[in-house]
Amino acid sequence: MNTPNGFTGSDDAHPGKLLTVDVQPHPRGIPLVRLLGDVDLATAPLFQRAVEQQVAQRQRFVVDMDGVDFLSSAGLAVLVDVRQQMAEKDLKWAVVAARATVTRPLEITGLLTMLPIFDTVPAALDAVADPVAG
């Protein structure tokens, strides 16, 4: 279901576990896709839709996963898919992941070294920003 600021959904087996995906414009012109909650089989499609919108607009963007409490293989699959789509379009993107709830699954699967991972939003924005615009 859409909310005014993004997407929200829940896992029917755990109705209290929600994922909020909020796409925020950033003053540097780079959309910031913030995730809050669990990224699992039930909620990964919300994440997928938000990033697909950015890819469809040929946008550079940053995914902030510091609010993610749980990251399942479904969420990892979204990240792998985004990586492939962005590479095909030759677009920059970055992921903010400093919490173990996100970095541990990325490390175990080998994605930590394959994805553009940064510890902070400013570092991720710097990596994605157009060098001319700063």
Phi, psi torsion values for 105, nearest 5 degrees: -60, -35
| Res 59: pLDDT | 84
| Res 130: pLDDT | 77
Please list, in sequence order, all residues whose beta carbon lies within 8 angstroms of the beta carbon of residue 112, skipping any fewer than 6 positions away: 103, 106
- Burial of 88 by CB count in 10 Å (0-12 exposed, 13-18 middle, 19+ buried)? exposed
Domain ranges of the chain: 2-128
Sign of CA dihedral 4, 74, 63, 96: positive
What parts of the chain have a pLDDT lower than 50? 1-5, 8-16, 134
How far, in Å, CA of 106 to CA of 90, rounded?
23
Could you tell me the pTM of the whole model? 0.85
| Res 25: pLDDT | 86
- Domain boundaries 2-128, corresponding CATH code: 3.30.750.24
**Residue given tokens 């991972």 in the structure block:** 117
